[in-house]
Amino acid sequence: MKRVIDGWLQGVARLPTPNVDDRPAGERVELVVIHNISLPPGEYGRRNVHALFTNCLDPCAHPFFAEVAGARVSAHILIERDGTITQFASFDRRAWHAGASEFNGRPRCNDFSIGIELEGSDFDAFTDAQYAALDEVLAAVLGEYPVRAVCGHSEIAGGRKTDPGPFFDWARLALPASVCLPSARVSAR
């Protein structure tokens, strides 16, 4: 089982992002947000997400990159199609993954959440390796932080986001009953 030490998941690659800052004083991690991402859309395994999260994406390398290369974003964790886990930000810091967001009436979800990106899209199923890696990450995070809920980006982004998308199988998450899923997903457990 993986462990978290000083905000870092042990036994995974680290690639620190500049797209992070301190959480507001007194904020605790209480939410995990699941995302999906692929760059360019629908293409996998090219490490372009790594480049985006570290502000190194070449806007000339693909027409779509010109649209997103200036974005200053990063999740805490990326899980690739083969289950490879890379951590970009300490869980103790605020990564810039959720944007304008609200959870249960509470705005600015980046302040109190951990963002986990799955390499994928709204149009493809996620892999068994990704679900296994996600369960490892969630177990480590839940062992270290007082997480009360796990949700998709779509649940906190006020209709502007759709991820992790319709192919994400919420029933496959190995979560204790004390951790809430979005109300639409509870019946799937």
Q: What angle do CA 69, 36, 31 make, to 5 degrees?
A: 110
Question: CA nearest 87: which of 50, 139, 56?
Answer: 50
CB 81 within 8 A of CB 133: no
The CA-atom distances, in angstroms, between 71 and each of 59, 106, 124 are: 11, 24, 24
- CA-based max dimension of the chain: 47
Q: Environment class of residue 129 by beta-carbon count within 10 Å: exposed (0-12), middle (13-18) or buried (19+)?
A: middle
Task: Check if 43 is active-site.
Answer: no
Measured in degrees and rounded to the nearest 5, phi and psi for residue 138 equal -60, -40
Token pair listed for 9: 């998941």
Catalytic residue, chosen from 117, 119, 136, 155, is 117
Question: CA nearest 126: which of 80, 181, 161, 157?
Answer: 80
Catalytic residues: 117
